[in-house]
Amino acid sequence: MNAELIREQFPILHQEINGHPLVYLDSAATSQKPRAVLDALKHYYEWENSNVHRGVHTLGSRATDAYEGAREKVARFISAARTQEIIFTRGTTTSLNMVASAYGPAVLQEGDEIVITPMEHHSNLIPWQQLAIRTGATLKYIPLQPDGNIALEDAEKTITDRTKIVSIAHVSNVLGVVNPVKELAEIAHRHGAIMVIDGAQSTPHMKVNVQELDCDFYAFSGHKMCAPTGIGVLYGKKHLLESMEPIEFGGEMIDDVGLYESTWKELPWKFEGGTPIIAGAIGLGAAIDFLQEIGMDAIHQHETKLAKYATARLSEIEGLTLYGPREREVGLLTFNLQDIHPHDVATVLDASGVAIRAGHHCCQPLMRWLEASATARASLYLYNTEQDIDRLAEALVQTKEYFG
Amino acid sequence: MQLDDLYRRVIMDHYKNPRNRGKFDDDSLTVDLNNPTCGDRISLQLKLEDGVVKDARFNGEGCSISMSSASMMTEAVKGRTYAEAMDLASRFSSLMQGEAVDFDEYEELEALSGVNKFPARIKCATLAWNALKKGIHEEE
């Protein structure tokens, strides 16, 4: 994989920020979009724009074909057994909320347990917190090892026969750890619980096979994997989705409406009320084509190599604390620089054209665990190069000098 | 973009040597505010008597801009009537909007004028002032 050639396909990367060529290191927040995706959106609006599943005219058929074609691409991308198991949503947050609202209350009773970890993004924490409050269930946390990893022995102790739902991030957006979700799913199933995976930080960076993981639900967002914002996916096993009632009513999800009773369409449309995010889904389809042409394994290898290089470069900087495990295969580097507040670090870096994230990364409980009020984070993607890491390291050294 | 517009000597001085940092050992009016987008926190304590801000102290964690702004604010409002303090707060908001404002009574505040060129940081600078406004509103 040649990152230089890939960079060429991202128009946004070829600009100057504050007089310096842009180094974009905030892809965990949102990725940049390649020309292929931008062109697909333009083509849709110029040649196909129409509502789906309604029009009997030509544009209606083109839009429907493109939208449903994107669903098939998603199903193949994550190796789902059936296209019906792919629900288009607004993103990971909506997908996880949908599981919590449509599945949770039907199965949980007072005293039952929901198991998560302290490293969860707020999107995979608050919906369960709310569900626990509403149903009287207990929210339990698998503790973290000192380096941020999960030990399976701890999972074995936390997950019990009272556990009904286990929901865990595939990859932490702060620590960069890849969690043993397959093994966790096995433990959950042994106790009769379902396994939900937050795939926001994994799907863009590595091959995901939902059947091999044997998870019950898998949630991810398009915008972190080269697609537009506002489109995401909820994968769910067919029998579970069929057992669930929709949570949004009206528009596309309707089958037959009477004055006092109505029926819903079959899967997956049952969960897609209103006019769906048609252009977003088509953009996601184009992003999947783009990523698969390069190859998910090649992307993952490139990022693993880059993450190693970045870990080494940042470790050379005196006074820099790098959080999470030393060995990392994904390009997420969270750190603090001496006692300089991460916002100040981010502002000084921005002055040299280097874009990173500063703050709590929507992981307040994890920040408390790290004993940091906030952290800085550099996150990599397929278009980053060693040169970007060098620019980051140089800018960090300058920041130290500036705040001396 | 000139970093020195943002990080003037005065700001760095207040960041490194904050004035009025700490807590009164009594039950003075306390306002806790945080900036949910970044996690900055401030706990402002005000001694309010007879319509006057007699004293102010703060604790908190945050970036150089939020903490230096808090330090300057506590210096600037001490001894002022509620109306004067609120007027100062509203002039500080104008400063953040990029307007030219005189702070004859506490000129150091003008050091924060550069923040308006860094829109992402305005919330940092205004956190302590929002706590002040909330505190005076509660008292009134």
| Residues ≥6 apart with Cβ < 8 Å to A56 | none
Task: Copy the structure tokens of residue A303.
Answer: 């990022």
Band of residue B22 on the pLDDT scale cut at 50, 70, 90: very high
Q: Quick check: B64 pLDDT over 80? A: yes
For residue A99, what pLDDT is reported? 98
Of B41, B61, B64, nearest to A344 by CB-CB distance is B64
Please state, in angstroms and rounded to a whole number, the distance separating the CA atoms of residues B132 and B42. Answer: 11
- Of B36, B22, B6, residue with least CA distance to B130: B36
Q: Are A350 and A18 in contact (CB under 8 A)?
A: yes
Does A34 fall in a domain? no
C-beta atoms of B121 and A364 within 8 A: no
Please state, in angstroms and rounded to a whole number, the distance separating the CA atoms of residues B28 and B9. Answer: 32
C-beta atoms of A343 and B6 within 8 A: no
Chain B 10-69, residues with CB within 8 Å of chain A CB atoms:
12, 37-41, 61-65
Is A215 an annotated catalytic residue? no
Q: What angle do CA A148, A152, A157 make, to 5 degrees?
A: 110
A358 inside 8 A of chain B by CB: yes
Residue ranges making up the domain that contains A222: 50-293
Probe site for chain B from A17, A344, A350 (most B CB atoms < 10 A) = A344
Does A199 fall in a domain? yes
For residue B1, what pLDDT is reported? 56
The alpha carbon of A171 is separated from its chain's Cα centroid by a whole number of angstroms, namely 9
Of A293, A328, A348, which residue sits at a domain end? A293
Please state, in angstroms and rounded to a whole number, the distance separating the CA atoms of residues A250 and A47. Answer: 27
The answer on A302 and A287 residing in a single domain is: no
Does A112 fall in a domain? yes
Please state, in angstroms and rounded to a whole number, the distance separating the CA atoms of residues A91 and A230. Answer: 6
Write down the domain spans for chain B.
3-139
pTM given for the model: 0.93
Split into its structural domains, chain A has a count of 2
Question: What does the pLDDT average to over B37-65?
Answer: 92
The alpha carbon of B124 is separated from its chain's Cα centroid by a whole number of angstroms, namely 10
Q: Is A61 helix (H, G, I), strand (E, B) or coil?
A: helix
The answer on A231 and A116 residing in a single domain is: yes
User: Contacts by A208-215 with C-beta closer than 8 Å and gap 24+?
Assistant: A208/A77, A208/A78, A208/A79, A208/A170, A209/A78, A209/A79, A210/A78, A210/A79, A210/A80, A210/A235, A211/A79, A211/A80, A211/A81, A212/A79, A212/A182, A213/A181, A213/A182, A213/A185, A214/A182, A214/A185, A214/A186, A214/A189, A215/A181, A215/A185
The answer on A266 and A379 residing in a single domain is: no
The answer on A392 and A260 residing in a single domain is: no
The answer on A251 and A314 residing in a single domain is: no
Q: Quick check: B2 pLDDT over 90? A: no
Does A264 fall in a domain? yes
The answer on A142 and A244 residing in a single domain is: yes
C-beta atoms of B118 and A347 within 8 A: yes
Of A274, A293, A312, which residue sits at a domain end? A293
CA end-to-end distance (rounded Å), chain A:
40
Please state, in angstroms and rounded to a whole number, the distance separating the CA atoms of residues A36 and A303. Answer: 21
Q: Are A87 and A232 in contact (CB under 8 A)?
A: no
C-beta atoms of A402 and B3 within 8 A: yes
- What letter would DSSP give residue A86? E
B118 inside 8 A of chain A by CB: yes
Strand order, beta sheet including B29-35 = B29-35, B40-49, B52-61
Does A32 fall in a domain? no
The CATH class for the domain spanning B3-139 reads alpha beta
For residue A258, what pLDDT is reported? 94
The answer on A328 and A399 residing in a single domain is: yes
* Alpha carbon of A319: minimum distance to chain B alpha carbons (Å): 17
Contacts of residue B39 in chain A, CB cutoff 8 Å? Answer: 359-360, 364, 367, 373-374
The answer on A282 and A196 residing in a single domain is: yes
Tell me which of A148-152, B23-27, B109-113 is least confident. B23-27
Q: Quick check: B48 pLDDT over 60? A: yes
For residue A1, what pLDDT is reported? 87
What are the pLDDT tens digits along chain A (404 aa)? Answer: 899 999 999 999 999 999 999 999 999 999 999 999 999 999 999 999 999 987 789 999 999 999 999 999 999 999 999 999 999 999 999 999 999 999 999 999 999 999 999 999 999 999 999 999 999 999 999 999 999 999 999 999 999 999 999 999 999 999 999 999 999 999 999 999 999 999 999 999 999 999 999 999 999 999 999 999 999 999 999 999 999 999 999 998 999 999 999 999 999 999 999 999 999 999 999 999 999 999 999 999 999 999 999 999 999 999 999 999 888 889 999 999 999 999 999 999 999 999 999 988 899 999 999 999 899 999 999 999 999 999 999 999 999 998 87
For residue A300, what pLDDT is reported? 97
Does A143 fall in a domain? yes
Task: Copy the structure tokens of residue A52.
Answer: 């789906």
Residue A97 sits in a domain whose CATH number is 3.40.640.10
* Alpha carbon of B14: minimum distance to chain A alpha carbons (Å): 13
Q: Quick check: B59 pLDDT over 70? A: yes
Band of residue B3 on the pLDDT scale cut at 50, 70, 90: confident
The answer on A316 and A243 residing in a single domain is: no
Nearest CA in chain B to A353: B1
Strands (E) located in A180-329: 194-198, 217-221, 232-236, 254-257, 262-264, 320-322
Nearest CA in chain A to B2: A351
Of A259, A293, A327, which residue sits at a domain end? A293
Residue A311 sits in a domain whose CATH number is 3.90.1150.10
Q: Are A109 and A134 in contact (CB under 8 A)?
A: no
Probe site for chain A from B38, B59, B115, B121 (most A CB atoms < 10 A) = B38
Nearest CA in chain A to B123: A343
Please state, in angstroms and rounded to a whole number, the distance separating the CA atoms of residues A140 and A300. Answer: 32
Question: What does the pLDDT average to over B4-19?
Answer: 87
Q: For A225-256, give one letter per residue: b (16+ CB within 10 A) or e.
A: bbbbbbbbbbbbbeebbeebebebeeebbbee
**Sign of the torsion angle spanned by Cα atoms B59, B62, B68, B72:** negative
Does A392 fall in a domain? yes
Contacts of residue B62 in chain A, CB cutoff 8 Å? Answer: 341, 343, 373
Question: Of the residues A215, A226, A362, A363, which is catalytic?
Answer: A362
The answer on A366 and A217 residing in a single domain is: no
The answer on A238 and A373 residing in a single domain is: no
For residue A274, what pLDDT is reported? 94
Helix A35-43 and helix A278-294: axis angle, to 10°? Answer: 150
The answer on A348 and A399 residing in a single domain is: yes
